[in-house]
Amino acid sequence: MEKRTIRDLDASGKRVFVRVDFNVPLADGKVVDDSRIRAAIPTIRTLLEQDAIVILASHLGRPDGKVQDGLRLRPVAERLSQLLGRNVPVTGDALGLGTEDALRRLRPGELLLLENLRFHAEEEANDPGFAKTLASYADVYVNDAFGSAHRAHASTVGVAEILPAYAGLLMEREIVMLSRLLENPERPFAAIVGGKKVADKIKVLRNLIDKVDLVIIGGGMANTFLLATGRSVGKSFVEPDRVEDARAILEAAEKAGVRIVLPVDVVVAKEVTRGAEHKTLGVEKLPASWSIVDVGKQSLSAIREALAPSRTIFWNGPLGVFEIPVFGEGTRQIARFVAEMADAGATVVIGGGDSVAAIEQQGLASKMTHISTGGGASLEFLEGRTLPGIAVIPDREPATA
């Protein structure tokens, strides 16, 4: 999949509408995690250096079509200003006379950020009139918001159907790296799939089974797989209605010659809370009144041994209840191990909030081959689904001799 990108665009003097993904966590009016903002910087700088007029647009949170002061983009603009070393003004609204006036006053090499697009219900509805108004601001459309590429919204699809559309540099890298996993991974290829629910990952597992050599399953979803193999999981979170799905995955893996690694020992707790009493037990000995909260040391050893030969690793989802620090140790240890693998030359691609957090918290991000900015989008891409925000961007024309 080779999409037309800003490498194919002469943006000099053009008004460029850039859909970015600045849906970042805020606390006390400040950006808590700026990784998505930093990921968009290369595209923004490239366009500004070409003397383009850059109009940035993003959503933040879920305001459901209503103005919410706590979801205004001013804190994002402040952080972006710091990163770019220049002031980034933000409009009071994505529409209106004030916005139109601010746009008219922009000169080549300048930029501004439109206020939260989702303050308008028409954004998520992909309303044609809303898309037409946004498109009227610019000559060219650039999508650098991979994290929103699985949504058919006005700013991800509608505007792109009106203006000449290009992928930004972040979007390009996401497509290249995730396509490589599906089409041409260096082998052995291992997938580490964690998180709470089998329901969230079942389509990815189905699609990856005939593409990988090894699957490590952890987190709450491993409980359902343990149940599918006839083990008791005490009062742990489990999805009884997904046991047959888990069993089908295990059978498909066996048929395809794909090794699946499940926990052999686990950390269990009386309550899934901070400070709760906890201990490590084999999966054959789980008491009925305790809950699984993390993988045990034997499981971690087995995971490291299974992963060691891998040349490509994709990891999405924690191996325990990561939000409670003491139950996040298994996830943190795997983060350190895959960082060592990346240092040794393996391709390591990380996706999903808690997996990325485990990497970021330990200062390991720079070691990874690629950290995807799109949790849901990266999963849908790896399910083999067509993402509307990507499909609407034309393919690059083949070079002529």
The DSSP string of 291-307 is: EEEEE-HHHHHHHHHHH
Determine the Cα–Cα distance for residues 193 and 152; give it in Å rounded to an integer.
27
Q: Single out the catalytic residue among 92, 109, 234, 376.
A: 376
353 is catalytic: yes
Determine the Cα–Cα distance for residues 57 and 70; give it in Å rounded to an integer.
17
132 is catalytic: no
**Gyration radius of the chain over CA positions:** 23
Q: Single out the catalytic residue among 3, 14, 19, 36.
A: 36
What are the C-alpha distances in Å from 308 to residues 38, 213, 335, 400?
Answer: 32, 13, 14, 44
Q: Which residues of 282-305 are buried (b: 16+ CB within 10 A; e: fewer)?
A: ebeebeeebbbbbbbeebbebbee
Determine the Cα–Cα distance for residues 98 and 269; give it in Å rounded to an integer.
56
State the helix-helix crossing angle for 220-228 and 198-208, rounded to 10 degrees. Answer: 70
What are the C-alpha distances in Å from 381 to residues 192, 301, 356?
Answer: 16, 31, 18
376 is catalytic: yes
Helices (H) and strands (E) in the chain, counts: 14, 16
Determine the Cα–Cα distance for residues 179 and 372; give it in Å rounded to an integer.
12
What are the C-alpha distances in Å from 393 to residues 55, 165, 307, 325?
Answer: 18, 5, 37, 42
What are the C-alpha distances in Å from 277 to residues 122, 172, 226, 234, 318?
Answer: 50, 47, 23, 15, 21
Output the six-digit token pair for 30.
């400040």
What are the C-alpha distances in Å from 318 to residues 70, 219, 327?
Answer: 29, 6, 10
Q: Single out the catalytic residue among 61, 109, 282, 353.
A: 353
Which helix (H) or strand (E) segment holds residue 192: the answer is strand 189-193
Burial class of residue 49 (count of CB atoms within 10 Å of its CB; 0-12, 13-18, 19+): exposed
The structure tokens 């808690």 sit at 354
Q: Single out the catalytic residue among 196, 197, 247, 311.
A: 197
92 is catalytic: no
Q: Which residues are catalytic?
A: 36, 197, 353, 376
